[in-house]
Structure 1
Amino acid sequence: MKRKGRTPWPPELSGQLREVDRLRRGGRYAQALVQIRQLAEAHPDQLRVLLEMGLTLGIWGHAPAEALPWFDRILTMAPGHLTTRLHRALTLARLGRHAEAVADFNTVESVGHRKLILYAKRAESLRADGQNAEAERDWTQALAEDPGNAWLLQQRAQTRAQLGRLAEAIQDLTDAIASEEEDSVDPELLYERGALRDRLGDRAGARADFEAGVAGFREGDPPGLLDSLRLELQRTSPAP
């Protein structure tokens, strides 16, 4: 029987969902999917069960297109379910439907949900949608939540470079480099800063970054990056 429009939570469901999660985390996705699908069919009014169905497909099954209808179903039943709205936004972004994702992120933010993941993921969608000024503001908001995060600084630098704000982009990359251990600076950061310095006419600074990138290249870094660093180093070196 429903109470105030809600179906009471069967106590046994908590243990059953824990078992689904145990299977997912243990790499037994197929079994987890069978069990959560059975639970969703048996309890079609339980939002948490439907949400776990969507998460199982979208996160553990890497099938965002299959997960999306489950999130839509929940929001039809409960439009104010913010956790689902956030996961729907993330799923839409993974599907490349960035304008719709931004709309969902905006809805989540409008009710006071202001967290790092919201700003960072919305910034990615805004940038993909060509809204670089708005994306730059979100990267800045994300950095307010996690100051000094090298990845966030790199993303803001890339966006600022697209906006033509090269000096600020270089400063972001400088801050990102400074936040890393001296003996493990990401060569990609050095490559990007070198490229921006070159665009501003600082060929000596660019060459120094490319040299440092080659010297600091690590096992596991993209092989193509090393080729790019060497090519740019050769291009910016003085003629013999």
Structure 2
Amino acid sequence: MERNGRQAWPPELSEPLREVDRLRRGGRYTSALALARALAGAHPTQVRVLVEVGLTLGVWGGQPAEALPWFDRVLALAPGHVATRYHRALTLARLGRHAEAVEGFTQVEAAGFRKALVLHMKRAESLEALGRLTEAEADWTAALAEDRGNPWLLQQRARSRVRAGRTDAAEADLTAALASQEGEAVDPELLYERGALRLQRGDVTGARADFGAGLQSFRVGDPPSLLDALRRGLQDAAVREGGAP
């Protein structure tokens, strides 16, 4: 039987597709792609096989332009294949075709895609690339409704709010993100971003405190560029105060 263009699944394809995945995860990308292409050639109307070729190219191979036609082939066979429509939108975003990506993400949302959190995150990123900051903030807010208090999501919404000129709301987001962190878990990047925002808004004392705390929280493995930025921030705050760092 066929359902929405999709054929019944031949059980003998299950093991070869598992082998494709094992090869990819084992770093043998060329072998994985060759096997996936061979399976697609032998079974050109099997949606799952075509999807795996697209994923192998786009995700594992970093070749979104080559992956896109495979997702289009799937949707020609099965227009209601929501996961493929989602991967197609991701691929469009990677290609910088953000307006089309946003349209794709919206179609996926309308179809009731189960991974609402990641959908809102990815659409927000494309909306920001398009300069549609109000809509991007709405998506970050929707993502936070799925994962309340997530510091990374709060940081992303703060950045979007800064770009939109809503610095008071952005500072509130960074403060909320920091409120959940203690000790070695405090992210110095969050402290730097709030410090820079406070300095911009004229709160020199608060900025200096954040830059100092960021230096105290700096961890092995954090980027050296962040350490330099914290030091520069502390110096800038000292200059604004007219004192020594």
- Do Structure 1 and Structure 2 share a fold, with TM-score over 0.5? yes
1:25-174 matches, within 5 Å, as 25-113=25-113, 115-174=116-175
Quote the offset at 1:195 in angstroms.
1.2
Q: How many residue pairs get matched?
A: 239
More displaced, 84-93 or 174-183? 174-183
The aligned amino acid for 1:186 is D
Quote the offset at 1:6 in angstroms.
4.4
User: Within the alignment, does 1:193 sit opposite 2:194 as a pair?
Assistant: yes
Q: CA separation in 2, counterparts of 1:239 and 1:166?
A: 25
Structure 2 SS opposite 1:79 = coil
The aligned amino acid for 1:121 is K
Please give the root-mean-square deviation of Cα atoms over the aligned residues, in Å: 1.4
In structure 2, do the counterparts of structure 1 residues 110 and 162 end up closer, same or farther at CA, with 3 Å as the change threshold?
same
Q: In the alignment, is the contact (CA less than 8 A) between 2:6 and 2:78 conserved in 1?
A: no
TM-score of the pair, normalised by structure 1? 0.95
Quote the offset at 1:236 in angstroms.
0.9
The superposition leaves residues 73-95 of structure 1 with CA deviations (integer Å, 9 ceiling, x where unpaired) of 11122222111000001111111
Partner in structure 2 of residue 177 of structure 1: 178
Quote the offset at 1:3 in angstroms.
4.5
The superposition leaves residues 39-66 of structure 1 with CA deviations (integer Å, 9 ceiling, x where unpaired) of 0000000000000110011111111111
User: Within the alignment, does 1:239 sit opposite 2:242 as a pair?
Assistant: yes
Quote the offset at 1:161 in angstroms.
1.1
Structure 1 SS opposite 2:7 = coil
In structure 2, do the counterparts of structure 1 residues 148 and 6 end up closer, same or farther at CA, with 3 Å as the change threshold?
closer
The superposition leaves residues 156-176 of structure 1 with CA deviations (integer Å, 9 ceiling, x where unpaired) of 000111112111111111111
1:199-210 matches, within 5 Å, as 199-210=200-211
Structure 1 SS opposite 2:221 = coil
More displaced, 70-79 or 84-93? 70-79
Structure 2 SS opposite 1:125 = helix
Q: In the alignment, is the contact (CA less than 8 A) between 2:6 and 2:47 conserved in 1?
A: no
More displaced, 13-22 or 37-46? 13-22
Q: CA separation in 1, counterparts of 2:130 and 2:173?
A: 23
In structure 2, do the counterparts of structure 1 residues 199 and 3 end up closer, same or farther at CA, with 3 Å as the change threshold?
closer
In structure 2, do the counterparts of structure 1 residues 51 and 222 end up closer, same or farther at CA, with 3 Å as the change threshold?
same
Q: In the alignment, is the contact (CA less than 8 A) between 2:40 and 2:50 conserved in 1?
A: yes
More displaced, 47-56 or 13-22? 13-22
Quote the offset at 1:232 in angstroms.
1.4
Structure 2 SS opposite 1:161 = helix
1:1-12 matches, within 5 Å, as 3=2, 6-12=6-12
Structure 1 SS opposite 2:214 = helix
The superposition leaves residues 19-47 of structure 1 with CA deviations (integer Å, 9 ceiling, x where unpaired) of 11111112221111111110000000000
Q: Matched residues, percent identical? A: 65
The aligned amino acid for 1:42 is A
Q: CA separation in 2, counterparts of 1:97 and 1:182?
A: 42
Q: CA separation in 1, counterparts of 2:208 and 2:2?
A: 70
Q: In the alignment, is the contact (CA less than 8 A) between 2:58 and 2:66 conserved in 1?
A: yes
Partner in structure 1 of residue 217 of structure 2: 216
Q: In the alignment, is the contact (CA less than 8 A) between 2:124 and 2:135 conserved in 1?
A: yes
Quote the offset at 1:181 in angstroms.
3.3
